Amino acid sequence: MAIAVPPLTPLRREWHDLRFGRDLVWTEGRYRLRDYKLRKTRHRPGREEYPGSVHPNAQHFVDARLLQDDDPKYLDALRENAEQQEWPLFVHPNGTLVAENYVSQVWSSEFGTGAHICRSIVYDVVFALSEDATLAGMVMNDHTSQQARTRYTGDRAKQAALAAASKEIDGIFDAFDA
């Protein structure tokens, strides 16, 4: 679950402490962040809450956290219990709480890079739409400075410009072959 859920929301170090009921609730057919305040920018006006949610394609990972080995028919009751008792989202298989930075450590062990790659993925996706769309990437990643946008998209912009120039040159040469 530490790998499946983060790319869909802005991953931050405090993720180890996400709790059902307090931060994550089941509503309108999906898990949604409720009154979730990212530590990094929670005191800035207009950035107090992040209304993210877990995409339905990744919800089964959260469901598995609740079900353990129980029958899926108990899922609604388990969701209700988890929210009332504020169960932690991330725990070790033996039930103990995970340490701060746990999610990033899982990403690092699997991919050789920390979970900051999630923010890069968001920028890559929106950059594929347009360079202007990277403003949406800033909002999705809870970045407030243009420096972050530039840092995350700079290499992609160069690659896109080189690919466009290469395609244009190919077109020129192709015109001579016609």
Higher per-residue confidence, 67 vs 176: 67
Sequence-ordered strand ranges (E) for the chain = 24-27, 30-33
Closest residue by Cα to residue 170 from 6, 132, 48, 162: 162
What pLDDT, on the 0 to 100 scale, is given for residue 76? 96
Quick: pLDDT tens for 93-117: 898 999 988 888 887 888 787 767 7
What pLDDT, on the 0 to 100 scale, is given for residue 113? 78
What pLDDT, on the 0 to 100 scale, is given for residue 132? 76
* Whole-number Å distance between alpha carbons of 125 and 21: 30
Quick: pLDDT tens for 125-170: 777 777 777 777 777 777 777 787 777 776 766 677 677 778 888 8
Q: Which residues lie closer than 8 Å to 134 by C-beta, 6 or more apart?
A: 123, 126, 127, 149, 152, 153
